[in-house]
Chains A and B, each alone.
Chain A
Amino acid sequence: MALDPGLVGRSYPPSAVYEVGREKIAEFARALGDDDPVYRDPEAARAAGHPDVVAPPTFAIVLSLGAGDVVLADPDVAIDYSRVVHGEQRFVHHRPIRAGDRLVATASIEAVRSVAGNDMLTTRVDLATEDGEPVCRTSAMLVARGA
């Protein structure tokens, strides 16, 4: 079933606060095999001009994955999750995510398309501090393969 184009622009309530921890950043960097000290050593991060350890640029996926679930749980978004693959991903960073950040994620629907029986849903997640400072915008395009 094709997705309703009227869904574009729909926005969802902000998430609970996610507090970014040094250990979580270090764990994520390790999973990428990245031994850059700015991901784990506060002194090295400060020497590089950051207030605390920073996260690898794709760390935002940790928050946006969870925040995007609210879209897939929307009963109006008729998409068969078992047929979904990740088509595209985009990040726009206003500044690096860093340890100590208290971030709120707000999901919305950026685009819907149907091509050759496949439904494409682009979900946007805006990450900001709880004080409202924009930090990162992510867009994920999911493809639900036609049955």
Chain B
Amino acid sequence: MAAVVRRADVEVGTELPPQTSQVTRADLVRYAGASGDFNVIHWNERVATEVGLPGVIAHGMLTAGLAARAVTAWAGDPGALVEYSVRFSRPVVVPDDGTGAEVVVAGRVAALLDDDRVRVDLTVTSGGEKVLSLARAVVQL
């Protein structure tokens, strides 16, 4: 159980490989089933618009999970991600057009911590707008 990336290989400013995911309505249904979060705003356009949303939106934790995937893929081990925090700043609207929404994840090492840990700050956008703010991971290298 160890990260593939070594502490000696990174410095402040080291960038993670960028990751782009396409999220469709089918992905929302799949995530609802896998997570147990069946909130109707994630699959029902009528209810979503009734409560004032622009349309069906992705589960915040799906977006956060995609962003975490970029970190674990970089680190080379899911166990290396020891702390993870996100703030949901803007919903990801997923249109029913067969294409869905694009979620783009960029990350960089922002701080070197004790015990071979580093802090990775993530920038997560959809349609050019930030959808997570203060998305941070502590990675054990």
In the assembly, what is the distance between CA of A24 and CA of B36, in Å? 11
Q: Which of B35, B64, B84 contacts A28 (CB 8 A)?
A: B35
Please tell me if the beta carbons of B78 and A31 are within 8 angstroms of each other in the complex: no
Query: Which residues of B16-60 have CB atoms within 8 Å of chain A's CB atoms?
Result: 21, 27, 30-31, 33-37, 51, 60
A38 within 8 A of B: yes
Least Cβ–Cβ distance between A131 and chain B, in angstroms: 20
Q: Which of A24, A32, A48 contacts B69 (CB 8 A)?
A: A32
CB<8 Å pairs between A and B, sample of 25: A31-B27, A31-B30, A31-B31, A32-B66, A33-B66, A33-B69, A54-B78, A56-B68, A56-B78, A57-B78, A57-B81, A57-B84, A58-B61, A58-B64, A58-B65, A62-B34, A65-B36, A66-B36, A88-B87, A89-B64, A90-B83, A90-B84, A93-B81, A96-B1, A96-B78
Q: Which of B33, B60, B77, B84 contacts A91 (CB 8 A)?
A: B84
A80 within 8 A of B: no
**Given A32-B69, A33-B69, A65-B35, A95 contacting B83 (CB threshold 8 A):** no
Query: Which residues of A58-116 have CB atoms within 8 Å of chain B's CB atoms?
Result: 58, 61-62, 65-66, 82, 85-93, 95-96
Please tell me if the beta carbons of B73 and A62 are within 8 angstroms of each other in the complex: no
Chain A's closest residue to B67 (CB) is: A58
Query: Which residues of B67-101 have CB atoms within 8 Å of chain A's CB atoms?
Result: 68-69, 72-73, 77-79, 81-88
**B64 cross-chain contacts in A, Cβ below 8 A:** 58, 89
Q: Mark A8-29, 1 if CB is under 8 A from B, else 0.
A: 0000000000000000100110
B2 within 8 A of A: yes
A43 within 8 A of B: no
Known: A32-B62, A93-B82. 13 other contacts (CB 8 A): A31-B30, A33-B69, A56-B69, A57-B68, A62-B34, A65-B36, A66-B36, A87-B88, A88-B87, A89-B86, A93-B81, A93-B83, A95-B79
